Amino acid sequence: MPNSYIVLQILSFTFLVLNANFPTTTSTITATNGTRLVLKLMHRDAISHLFHNPSLRIPEPTNRAINSSLSHDIDIRGPLIPSEEGSTLLVNISIGDPPIPQLLAMDTGSSLTWVQPPICSACTPAFTSIYDPKTSSTCTSLSCDSRYQCTNYYDFSNCGQEKQCRYSINYLDKSSCGGVIVLEKFTFLASDGGVWEIPDLVFGYGLESSGSIRDLSGILGLQIFRNRYSLVSRVGKKFSYCIGNISDPHYMYNQLILGEGAVLEGDSTPMRIRHGHYVVSIEGISIGDKQLNVVQKEFDFNVVIDSGSTITLLQRSAFEQLKREIMNLLDGLLRRAIVINAGERLCYWGNLVRDLKGFPIVTLHLGEGADLYLDVEGMFKRVSDDIFCMAVDVSGSDINIIGVYAQQYYNVGFDLNAMRVSFLSIECELLED
């Protein structure tokens, strides 16, 4: 995979060592109707802004309103931050007691939320501390035979002498991570000025990692596969996120909403869960008025909606047609550029905004009439001031991915009760209360 987006790409395609048993009980804390957790999504380059803006930070534990259950009319908030290369969206939450602020990559392709210690002290953002389960009064270890929490997870072959529940995750680029499964309290900033807590979330504490995944502080998993103790399960199996201009570190209106207040508006399409990923169908692809010849079986519930991938990946049959159309449109106007690690994507010398005025919209026609429109910012990715490349590449496996570049200027809503996902073309600022 190209290094320019490999860290994001690997977030989604995790191969977890799963046990086949499912839990038969529900969690002790459940969301009531109207519960709404709203978390700001922000750019990693905006971390310094977060540090200098106390209103975006979760309060210290003294003199705060504490709630152990969720009620109507309260928003639980926490900043969301995009990465420095304009791709990953990070969530600011606090973990444990005392609450330690953490920046976790939002990932719809991961069911386990986990953190790991930084590989160097200088890697820790100035406004955060290092989470240590040994110093948290709310961390509870799980044994390998914990019937409902650990049996959904992972690595029984590596239980160890302590008999502590462990996880092991391998990623697409051969990087990996592992650690122990614990129960821990998560803290969110509420719209009334207090904070809200969700205790006993199943959570992974990293003990080892290798490869690109070492660059991450951790992942906020929004997948629900085989995990009734996940964050999404605890707040009602609904969530939505809105992404604006992901390349702008100062754009402050990206947001994630968890619970009954999730925005489920716009075109909707049926969704399934395949190999632990949210998948939809593409029934056609068009560029302007020209319809591509899509092999339907390659896209039938085989398209992952992925917040952990930067670019869109298509099966070769569709990618080659799309690439050919772009060549026909641009080769006579702009000079090709050679970019290391660009894969099979076309790259050109030029200014993305100035030189692509009038470029036709690329439309992904999803099941039951839902359309996802990719403008130039969804189809192309700026790699320098005077070079841009396609934000679509050929898939290296039998699946397709709709990455975050294609999701810009959309609110994407997941209803896991109805098993539908919706796409609303909107400026995220308009969703602010």
Q: How far is CA 389 from CA 90, 352, 394, in A?
A: 24, 9, 13
Q: What are phi and psi of 60, to 5 degrees?
A: -70, 160
Q: What is the pLDDT of residues 181-194, one digit of tens each?
A: 899 999 876 555 56
What contacts 24+ positions apart, CB below 8 Å, involve 351-358?
351/385, 351/386, 351/388, 352/376, 352/377, 352/380, 352/382, 352/388, 356/380, 356/388
Q: What is the mean pLDDT of residues 298-324?
A: 95
Distance CA 394, CA 414 (A): 26
Least confident of 95-109, 207-221, 304-318: 207-221
- Answer yes or no: is pLDDT of 127 > 80: no
Q: What is the pLDDT of residues 243-278, one digit of tens each?
A: 998 888 778 888 898 888 889 999 999 999 988 789
- Token pair 């919209």 is found at 361
Which numeric CATH code is attached to 6-259? 2.40.70.10
Distance CA 306, CA 299 (A): 15
CATH topology classification for 267-431:
Cathepsin D, subunit A; domain 1 (2.40.70)
- Answer yes or no: is pLDDT of 63 > 60: no
pLDDT greater at residue 55 or residue 316: 316
Domain residue extents for the chain: 6-259, 267-431
Q: What is the pLDDT of residues 95-126, one digit of tens each?
A: 999 999 888 888 898 888 999 987 655 555 54
pLDDT for 275 equals 82
Distance CA 211, CA 153 (A): 22
Minimal CA–CA distance to 189: which of 30, 325, 77? 77
pLDDT for 45 equals 52
- Answer yes or no: is pLDDT of 81 > 70: no
Q: What is the pTM of this model?
A: 0.84
Minimal CA–CA distance to 304: which of 112, 109, 73, 120? 109
Distance CA 24, CA 50 (A): 41
| pLDDT band per the 50, 70, 90 thresholds, residue 14 | very low
Q: Do domains 6-259 and 267-431 have the same CATH topology?
A: yes
Distance CA 65, CA 190 (A): 9
